[in-house]
Amino acid sequence: MSLWQYLLLATAAGVLLNLTPCVLPALPIKLRSIGRVVGDGAGRRLLAGAALLAGTLTFFGALAVATAWLNWTWGALFHSSSFRLTLAFVLAGLGVWSLAGRGFQPPQWVYRVRGSGYAEPYLAGLLAAVLSTPCTGPFLGGVLAFALTQSPAAIVAIFLAVGVGLALPYLILLVRPGLIARIPRGGAWLLRIQQFLGLVLLAGAVFFAATVLPGNLGPLLWTAWATVLTFWLLRTLWDGPDLRARLVPALVLAGTVATALALWPQPDRAGTDTLAWRPLTMQALADARAARQPVLIEFTADWCINCKVLEQTVYRDRRVVEAARAANALTLRADLTRPDERLQRYLREFGGAGLPFAVVLDGNGQPVKRLPDLFMADTLASTLHNATEE
């Protein structure tokens, strides 16, 4: 593929990045930024779109420069516990503000500094870009792996293309406001949606805070969040004040129950339903190669939301566990929660450029398949089966 084809693929990967759990906390702010200028003239909408794109490209441009000249990897910022804690405070503040029904309007001094009220879309684009880096969406892993082999100029171009893709759906809505202009802009049901999105922001804050604070505080934070969610559901279902307003918490309740059932851990029958993970070391790889044993390696981190999704679904799937057992595969885990140059080197050597990433090796230590981004249990199970035939 040529560089131009990779630029197009990077743009598409940026668009799909909007569907990852990492970017979800920025959704309320983006939607509010769009909603504030829907009824304005084309000029103001264009400026709002330019501000949102500028916010996104500010971060991706800085990340591209750091990658090209400082050898940073995707998500490197999240190695810093101070950064994650700061981000948790920002998300918590925005979540409480929204849950109180106040929306996401920045302080007035911000508008006075920028002069025209375009701080909000700029900050929305910037926050979405920051939140996107703990995850890689579909296609993005391959694009990033290609970028790291190119010249600094090509790296910058590819990263900026990802940023354009991340902002593109919202730019289209700003250019074609008729797509959302028919949505009512008032009423109790919209307030309920705003409050729910505030709860999403609070969930993002809890997730990042739990990666920094002592381990016993994480469950307490999630319990507190679940208590707030339960109180909100009961209160809004009782108060209404009308059917449409009650429909919002009813749908949230149904989605919460369905998600809980899907992610509920299955009983572990004396360890037979889980993979026996060991730390990734050179000795473990050498022993597996000497025994001609296939290897499954997972690269993960506490701050990687998509990694946690895979660990609660794909890696617990009965088909994957049975396929690993049938292949007698050694399962190794590389934890990149904190900076580790040795593990980063393994990630690059196996063709990864961001998290989540997994690779299956055959008995000779050669990659059978690389699995960047999110993937399905069937894909991993069939790859483990193929590893025994190499």
Break the chain into its structural domains and give their ranges. Answer: 3-263, 277-387
| Residue 55 CB neighbour total at 10 angstroms | 26
| pLDDT value of residue 38 | 56
| pLDDT value of residue 72 | 65
Q: Checking phi first, is residue 293 left (phi over 0); if not, alpha (psi -120 to 50) or beta?
A: beta
Contact 363/303 with Cβ under 8 angstroms?
Answer: no
* Residue (of 93, 105, 114) closest to 50 by Cα position: 114
| pLDDT value of residue 80 | 80
pLDDT tens for the chain, residues 1 to 390: 577 888 888 898 888 887 766 676 666 667 666 666 655 677 777 888 888 899 999 988 888 887 777 666 666 667 788 888 888 888 888 788 778 765 444 444 333 434 445 777 888 888 888 877 766 655 566 677 667 667 788 888 888 999 999 889 888 877 776 665 555 555 677 788 778 878 888 888 899 899 898 888 889 999 999 999 999 999 999 987 888 889 988 998 998 888 777 666 555 444 446 899 999 999 999 999 999 999 999 999 988 888 888 998 899 999 999 999 999 999 999 999 888 889 988 998 898 877 889 999 999 999 999 998 778 999 999 999 988 765
Residue 377's φ and ψ, nearest 5 degrees, are -65, -40
Q: How far apart are CA 204 and CA 143, in angstroms?
A: 26
The residues facing 332 across adjacent strands are 278, 297
| pLDDT value of residue 170 | 83
Contact 389/325 with Cβ under 8 angstroms?
Answer: no
DSSP string, 59-77: HHHHHHHHHHHH---TTGG
How far, in Å, are 199, 326, 344, 387 from residue 355 at the CA level? Answer: 26, 27, 11, 23
| pLDDT value of residue 154 | 83
For the structural domain made of 277-387, what CATH number should be given?
A: 3.40.30.10
Tokens coding 232: 């909100």
Q: How far apart are CA 23 and CA 131, in angstroms?
A: 5
| pLDDT value of residue 28 | 62
- Mention every residue, 6+ apart, whose C-beta is less than 8 A from residue 315: 275, 298
Alpha-carbon torsion (88, 91, 93, 96), positive or negative: negative
DSSP string, 135-146: ---TTHHHHHHH
